[in-house]
Amino acid sequence: MTKPLNTLSNAYISRLRRFEQARGKVERLLLAGHVSREDVYLFYEGVFLRAVTMFEGLLEDLFVGLLAGSVGPGHKVHPRVKFKSHSVARDVMLGGRAYVDWLPYHHTDRRAEAFFRGGFPFCNLGKQDRKDLERIILIRNAVAHQSRTALKRFESEVVGTTPLLPFERTPPGYLRSNFRAAPAQSRYEDIANTLSALVRKLCR
């Protein structure tokens, strides 16, 4: 049975909301002195990586689901070829590889152009959306790899001239730092909101 596209986006956003509830609990534990700031940083790194990994998973589920007809069809979405089996659609999409990269987003763009007329719905993301994803990937690389190159790019291309305290210039410190004061919002929350908006655009 074909499910509406927003089934995927709603599930993703629901997971992010659960993450936000957990983030609130962790912050309250810190205020009460039950956990350290280092513990909280580990939480921010983990929840951020989960959010990005889930976004990549949504891209794959959307791609394969549209090919197999299990989700969709969506506005302007016309697969160049359709498959009756979800597993066959995934095997063809993988092209004999164990996995494929979805980010940076140009990997998704190229794949979508090959399998869908006009690249819809993956072309729904605009120029600013792609810039936002590039920034998120830079943070992801700095958190996941901790290499000198990844951290240097994070410092120059993400932090830049942003006025931050020394401990906020690290990847987890940056994620926890204030994006704005009113209403209070961390940079992680801003990223989560950005990812939520992107999945809505993809699944409309």
Q: Is the pLDDT reported for residue 144 higher than 90?
A: yes
- Greatest distance between any 2 Cα atoms in the chain: 57
Residue-wise pLDDT tens digits, 59-76 = 999 999 999 999 988 889
Q: Is the pLDDT reported for residue 148 higher than 90?
A: yes
Beta-carbon count within 10 A of 14 CB: 10
Helices (H), strands (E): how many in the chain? 8, 2
Are the CB atoms for 141 and 150 separated by under 8 Å?
yes
Are the CB atoms for 83 and 67 separated by under 8 Å?
yes
Residue-wise pLDDT tens digits, 166-178 = 999 999 999 999 9
Average the pLDDT over each of 136-140, 180-184, 198-202 and give the range with the smallest value: 180-184
Cα gap 5→72, rounded to integer Å: 5
- pLDDT value of residue 1: 79
| 186: β partners | 178
- pLDDT value of residue 72: 85
- pLDDT value of residue 75: 82
Structural domain spans, the chain: 6-135+188-202
pTM for the structure as a whole: 0.95
**How close are the terminal C-alpha atoms of the chain, in Å?**
18
pLDDT band at 10 (very low <50, low <70, confident <90, very high): very high
